[in-house]
Chain A
């Protein structure tokens, strides 16, 4: 499962990002399928991967047409490594030799394109020279991807085929001669296929046909008899000779295939190495294309375990918003080991922020550039996300039960340099215990060697000096009452868009925990919830405000 479970990869959007990588060769596709993360301690290897990725991004930009030609060759490449390896043990068929030749031609073409790109193309991607073997399979140097056991492969084969053709011509001449004699002596004209249909009613013709020395009845019914040219002794002898020549030619074809197979076998390692190189290049070109298309940057890798995101974009969310005509507001955040706590308005993008942190860590960890203005991070050994969205109901667990199950799994997987992303934990249970549980979890995680990012609606759960607090700016500047009346009669999509347009998703680090914004009722109003309900709710909220009984109770029991 690598550094994250399949579920985490899906929830942070990494699975989606991987599905947007478009390798073109079977070798590149395998690399995407087998992709694995660079682990803490492999920073140097990762940096060199990034070096190559950067160089390929440059190649895609500055050698655009060469890159397009490479892609075109890639699309036609088939994985025939099985045949290549088989050449060591068995004679390859003509079809296999065709495929080897076609592959070698593509390798040669790719090598040429890479060389024309020159220094900009890292050497480890350039295919090795295969012209020796290619010449063996393509002796006339036509360099066209077609194949046949041509005469040029063997003088003997050419000679056998020539003699066979001569014999076949003699057979043709012999049949023509017999047909001519039949016409001259019996008056019966044969079709080009040396047949004649004689009606029984035509007694004279029937008699002539029956007595013609070179005709024999092949098929008959009540109306007619179909005569065909009989085989003469001479033709029989010629046919026997032709058959013998055919067998000899076939044996010689096999000799040629053996010889060519040996030539392939001698180059197995070189061919497989080229397959590796093609896979490497294809994989990295796919990453580079993705980076350019999604405006990604090379992250700086630090030794210390940390995650700093400058103007990051969660790509799947950005795409979904774009499709609805809404622009995505990038956010920045800086996380270090210990606990960081995010509070903020409903619909303020807290969950997306968590996914973003996970996605940036996963993309960088898997050697990809990241969708940020800039980013610095230290590699994580584990990424876990817990989103309390009750998705476990199919397992028969309540949303709370599913959440606790997920938390257990996450904590048991965590070890040094883990990245934990916990969204609104315990929000599905009663507020007093939910707050206590959140507080306890934060206290437990605060001295662990993990980066923990936690979002919550509960007030005063992250009061410790070592907890970093962030707050989403939210709707603070907007006149919501006016907006709510302006939206009277609007559809839900319009209302959601209006909120998205007013929402400031950016984060502020706050020195000490502030009161959690109380925007829920206002947002509910913009979303068009019945006014009567909202008025009642406001009344209850005002009545509860002064005492904050739940919190007091909690504080008392704990102190």
Chain B
């Protein structure tokens, strides 16, 4: 299937995110970009910068070079402009700063390789996406960051394509299970309870843990780190939701007694705030853990790379089958083999 064709009519902004290095994120992006001219789609391409990330200007290793066709729109910091192999017409100087200068929005007038880099902040990402759409892009692809902490997806993009593969594990079943875990967490339901939502929105600025239900209460603790026991002590019988402004960790979820865990669900701002490994997650879920998110991540496809940098590979069709069975009805594909 053509990933771009499949998604183009449904989403304006898509992030491609890898579950680990070498899971084929760039390959997925390349494949979708290569589809664009044939589909008559004018693409905007950007990349989430990460705080503290340094890019080796000389070798350009940290940021992969992406081949952009004529007509595409992209973001590039001023210091990387002269290194681009493509011909880039500068369309707009934004106010977003990176370690490599302010981010510019450029149109590709001569096809070629570009080290795409965009703003670090979620607000910046949203801003350049809007700019690129205004400058004529039909659809935006975001080169998402590798580690989960910086998936700014819920705010900056409509949908996510998840790249996974042999780099995760030498056992295919393990790759499938890890991928399914990520998909499950990313697909957690959004909170729809209007009363609880209103209460949480009212206190969102304060960044405190909040008990909703019965008598709503604020727990004066900025983060939940190591606070599991305290939450367990403080939680009331009639509490229905525990809103966590920060991360939801394993120790925290375990700190809430099992009988209360069934009654009160955790609410986090978005799925990237959940830091619970697969096995603990299974155990906690079995003992009644429920989690809602304020804004979810919409996974529209999973791509697999059967090759591991460790020097082994899986059979592509088998891997697709295994991952597909694990993630339910999300389409799974290997963009390289074209299956």
Name A residues whose Cβ lies closer than 8 Å to a Cβ of B: 78, 93-95, 98-99, 102, 145-148, 161, 191-192, 195, 197, 199, 219, 221-224
Contact = CB atoms under 8 A, between A and B. Distances in A.
A9 B313 CA distance: 73
Contacts of B316: 197
Nearest to A197: B337
A146 B91 contact: yes
B283 to A, nearest CB: 35
A78 to B, nearest CB: 7
B93 A98 contact: yes
Given A146-B90, A197-B316, 16 more contacts: A93-B81, A94-B90, A95-B78, A95-B104, A102-B93, A146-B107, A147-B89, A148-B87, A161-B110, A191-B336, A191-B338, A197-B336, A221-B307, A221-B311, A222-B313, A223-B314
Nearest to A164: B110
A98 B90 contact: yes
B284 interface: no
A99 B91 CA distance: 11
Nearest to B82: A93
A496 B208 CA distance: 36
B87 A221 contact: no
Interface in B283-339: 307, 311-316, 336-338
Contacts of B315: 199, 223
Contact of A148 (B88, B93, B337): B88
Given A94-B82, A197-B337, A221-B307, A147 B90 contact: yes
B313 A146 contact: no
A148 B109 contact: yes
Contacts of B87: 148
B97 to A, nearest CB: 13
Nearest to B78: A95
Contacts of A147: 89-90
Interface residues of B, number: 25
A95 B338 contact: no
B33 to A, nearest CB: 12
Most buried by B among A95, A192, A199: A95
Contacts of B110: 161
19 contacts: A78-B93, A93-B82, A94-B82, A95-B82, A95-B104, A102-B93, A145-B92, A146-B107, A147-B89, A191-B336, A191-B338, A192-B34, A197-B316, A197-B337, A221-B307, A221-B311, A221-B313, A223-B313, A224-B313
Contacts of A197: 316, 336-337
B34 to A, nearest CB: 7
- State the 6 A-B residue pairs at the shortest beta-carbon distance, nearest first: A148-B89, A98-B90, A95-B78, A147-B90, A221-B313, A146-B91
Nearest to B34: A192
Nearest to A145: B92
B89 A146 contact: yes
Interface string B60-90: 0000000000000000001001100001111
Nearest to A223: B313
Contacts of A102: 93
Contacts of A222: 312-313
Contacts of B78: 95
A306 to B, nearest CB: 48
A501 B104 CA distance: 57
Contact of B81 (A94, A161, A192, A219): A94
B6 to A, nearest CB: 18
Nearest to B166: A221
Contacts of A146: 89-92, 107
A542 B107 CA distance: 88
Contact of A95 (B81, B107, B312): B81
A553 to B, nearest CB: 59
B90 A221 contact: no
Most buried by A among B34, B90, B110, B307: B90
Contacts of A148: 87-90, 109
Contacts of A94: 81-82, 90
A154 to B, nearest CB: 14
A99 B82 contact: no
Contacts of A98: 90, 93, 104
A369 to B, nearest CB: 33
A99 B93 contact: yes
Contacts of A224: 313
Contacts of A99: 93
A98 B316 CA distance: 48
A192 B2 CA distance: 13
Contacts of B314: 223
A95 B337 contact: no
Contacts of A223: 312-315
Most buried by B among A78, A98, A199: A98
A497 B82 CA distance: 65
A98 B34 CA distance: 29
Contacts of B90: 94-95, 98, 146-148
Contacts of A93: 81-82
A426 to B, nearest CB: 46
Interface string B140-171: 00000000000000000000000000000000
A98 B313 CA distance: 48
Contacts of B109: 148
A148 B70 CA distance: 14
A501 to B, nearest CB: 35
B101 to A, nearest CB: 8
